[in-house]
Chain A
C-alpha cells in the first residue's frame, strides 16, 4: 500500500538551530511531492512542492527540500529556524496520474525563543 512515513513526531529546537525533518514514501512510480504546514489556529498551507526537474526545491519562509529518488525521500530543511516556525508539518505524496494526496502523520515542531 502507498504510504508516507515521517520519522519525527515531535521536534523541539531553539531559535537559530538548523532543522531537518525526514520523510520517506513507498511507491515505485513517478510521484509529485509536497510539504504542507499548519500554523496554530490556521489551516493547511503549501510550503513547497516538487513535480519534476531540479530535485532541490525552495519554498516559502526559507524552507527547502531535497528529493532523493533512490532513497524514496523528500526531507525538509531550514538552516536557521525562528520562533514563528512553530507548527505542524506534513509530508505528502501524489502518485502521478492519481487524484489523491497521501499524507504522513505529521511532525509537530516547537521552537523555543
Chain B
C-alpha cells in the first residue's frame, strides 16, 4: 500500500522564478491538501483539492496555485518566488473532505536564493 509520495525531495530556485511541486496521494484517497511548514513552525494550510477543484484556501496569495488530475495526483505551483517562500511543502491525502484523517508525505524542501 503506497503512502503519499512527493517530488522532488529538494529544490533550489532563484527569486522571481516559478516552481512546480508534485504529489501522489495514498492509494484509495481522492483528496489532496497542501501545507507550508516554515522553519520552527507548524504546517500552515495552503489549499485543498477534491474532484479536481480547489475546495478551500488558506491565507496565501494568488502566486500559489494548484491543480488536481483525474488520477487524484496534484501539483502546487508558486510564481514569482520570494525568499520567504523557502520552506518544507507538505502534501496530505485523505478520503473525502472535511475532518477525515489526513496522511502526510515526506515533503519537498524548497530553498529560494
- The answer on a CB contact under 8 Å between A90 and B42 is yes
- Describe B's contact surface by its main secondary structure: loop
A101 to B104, CA, bound (A): 12
- The answer on a CB contact under 8 Å between B44 and A103 is yes
A32 to B102, CA, bound (A): 12
Q: Look across to chain B and name the residue whose beta carbon is closest to the beta carbon of A30.
A: B99
- The answer on a CB contact under 8 Å between B42 and A104 is yes
- The answer on a CB contact under 8 Å between A106 and B56 is no
A100 at the interface (CB under 8 A from B): yes
Partner of A43, one of B33, B40, B45, B105: B105
- The answer on a CB contact under 8 Å between A105 and B33 is no
- The answer on a CB contact under 8 Å between A43 and B106 is yes
- The answer on a CB contact under 8 Å between A51 and B43 is no
Binary contact track B68-91/A, C-beta < 8 Å → 1, others 0 = 000000000000000000000010
A96 surroundings in chain B (CB, below 8 A): 99
- The answer on a CB contact under 8 Å between B101 and A99 is no
B61 at the interface (CB under 8 A from A): no
A49 to B33, CA, bound (A): 18
Binary contact track A86-113/B, C-beta < 8 Å → 1, others 0 = 0000101010111111111110000000
A4 surroundings in chain B (CB, below 8 A): 42
A4 to B44, CA, bound (A): 11
A94 to B33, CA, bound (A): 13
A102 surroundings in chain B (CB, below 8 A): 45
- The answer on a CB contact under 8 Å between B42 and A103 is yes
Q: Look across to chain B and name the residue whose beta carbon is closest to the beta carbon of A42.
A: B106
B93 at the interface (CB under 8 A from A): no
A interface residues with partner B (beta carbon < 8 Å): 4, 32, 36, 42-46, 49, 51, 90, 92, 94, 96-106
